[in-house]
Structure 1
């Protein structure tokens, strides 16, 4: 993006950086800092080690973009400054409370309204367009779908620090921040990096239901509920199903227990408030969605990107964990679903809620299993039989 200088910008005598920050705040951002492209030199080695250990799981696209991801200049050689921006999405209630409502679905706080990628990107474009028009510089905008290591760069810019849960923590907004960046050919004054303020606290590590943190500041995505319910396209391993509880899309546990959240304000913007129908939807209602119903229900939501089959897979795990035998009929109704992901979890959920019935059905299913092509479904029937 490159445009001519705006004549109206001459009316404001404030330094460019001060005007940039003011413009970003007007666009809806809550914090803005500047970093150099080489401000996080250790990030490349950490990324390489993480990938080498296989902790990215099935996210093979991270391997293909690792060289560009490791260095901002690898993504755009002409970049001279990184404008790192943050938007608060602090919830108006404790998301952990919903985990006790076993007949309800827990959707991660960030996914209860519009897809934040669209929201953040549109606001980034507003700020970037102003910067280009004001200075004539070139700019590029990135949200986390692009190969940018936003969290270490945000730390280097002084927006906060990467906590032991590997997410960014802010003294002003706790762990509830959306991040975005504007790369520019402008040579802007950089801000100082933020120091780590986690101290001896390890609440985020201890609360993780699936023990996804092998050590402080390290995440094994393969064990993370957010990865399992969102990124994983396969059957979810049995060892993780009970710990998942009623979390059907993402997990907020490590974010929600961060003590710095006590300084965060609620997200008062309409665009960041949760939709009423996504605050605590009934599992029984969600489980009955067909593809068209799923698309309609989650139109504009990031949940839509995982598709109906993975979504129902997740809902059936939550149903299996509900301890509500009345929901067994829902699991039974999905035993012949077209998706093997759904069929397998229907068998598992039925085995959890009505084990005697599941055993009887397993014997009756032996002949039908000769036609079953999915090994995961076959294994579920074998285990309940």
Structure 2
């Protein structure tokens, strides 16, 4: 009995310590779960991948076995601490969708790359925790095969809503997640239950109908996937639905009614760059590779590269109906990148009058890339 009491006291002390450290470093939530707490995750992931809903994210299929069970990633783990950081915006990010000359960048990407910020904070916590506990630790922030959303739900940070993202009763849908695996025994928190009820606001607002059913997502139709992960030309049928969303999509997060209960943000919350709140499409179309790298230095946007980014901006330009973008698009139709040239053709086919586009097409040079030739055919310039 004395030994059990001593062990429990140690768990209490270490659990209190990690929570205190989390709060000191600006995390809004800190909960703990066991590595065997998500037994259903492997099967659900398998169904998602087998249905092809992961699109071209081959890394997800390659790591499916390790993702399904945290113990396959590290067999010695005994406790998993999951941290949540609120990044909710001060305004409704959907307001910019009514400004077709402006570009909508997902809220999470309007400042420094959150992976770097959160990992830095987690390393501080892990270092002090390891010294206090005499235990091994590893930290992860979306860059390893860790299913953080199911783990967060099991730890009680929230539940996975019908849009498949985590929802917190305290913070709504705006959450960055990170985790610390440790060989130490800690007190385990109870899982959160689903509070979505009959609400389906997140499903109904999706511009591209990316949710086949509640709690299911098809990445191949998701604007976040299409504008960030997908490397080639985007399905022509989906382009008009993307509007001016050039990097990610916040619609299903922003519409969640649980957001109204989010408490006031921590002083350590990331603040958006003013120049990324409503950048103009005209300016973004002017970025060559060097200017793109400078403008998005430290931003997660930088990781998709200039060519994919300009592809996205050209879709926004084509959807805008704004003829001010014609000259920029015309110049980009001669860009060295095939994915840029092809999307410039599509944008011009929507911005020009029929006669103007026919005249422009008649003067086009020979095209060696098959995808770009397909764009000309799609535009009716056979």
TM-score by length of 2: 0.95
Alignment correspondent of 2:157: 159
Alignment correspondent of 2:7: none
Alignment correspondent of 1:8: none
> Would you say the 8 A contact 2:86–2:269 is kept in 1?
no
Q: Secondary structure at the match of 1:61?
A: helix
Shift of 1:93: 0.6
Cα deviation per residue 1:229-276 (whole Å; 9 max; x = unaligned)? 000110011011111000000000000000000011454546611101
Distance 1:94 1:351 in 2: 32
Shift of 1:277: 0.6
Shift of 1:327: 1.3
Pair 184,316 (structure 1): closer, same or farther in 2 beyond 3 Å: same
Alignment correspondent of 1:377: 372
Alignment correspondent of 2:271: 273
Pair 265,333 (structure 1): closer, same or farther in 2 beyond 3 Å: farther
Q: Identify the match of residue 130 of structure 2 among 132, 136, 143.
A: 132
Alignment correspondent of 1:327: 325
Shift of 1:64: 1.1
Shift of 1:364: 2.6
Unpaired stretches in structure 1, ≥5 consecutive residues: 1-11
TM-score by length of 1: 0.94
Distance 2:128 2:264 in 1: 28
Shift of 1:15: 2.4
- The alignment status of 1:295 with 2:293, answered yes or no, reads yes
> Would you say the 8 A contact 2:118–2:141 is kept in 1?
yes
Distance 1:262 1:61 in 2: 36
Pair 271,174 (structure 1): closer, same or farther in 2 beyond 3 Å: closer
Alignment correspondent of 1:317: 315
- The alignment status of 1:358 with 2:346, answered yes or no, reads no
Distance 2:328 2:215 in 1: 40
Alignment correspondent of 2:95: 97
Q: Secondary structure at the match of 2:181?
A: strand
Pair 270,324 (structure 1): closer, same or farther in 2 beyond 3 Å: farther
Moved more, 197-206 or 319-328: 319-328
> Would you say the 8 A contact 2:173–2:253 is kept in 1?
yes
Unpaired stretches in structure 2, ≥5 consecutive residues: 1-9
Q: Identify the match of residue 83 of structure 1 among 81, 84, 91.
A: 81
Alignment correspondent of 1:344: 342
Alignment correspondent of 1:3: none
Cα deviation per residue 1:42-67 (whole Å; 9 max; x = unaligned)? 00100011110110000001111111
Alignment correspondent of 2:108: 110
Q: Secondary structure at the match of 1:238?
A: coil
Cα deviation per residue 1:140-196 (whole Å; 9 max; x = unaligned)? 000111100000110000000000000000000000000000000011111110000
Alignment correspondent of 2:232: 234
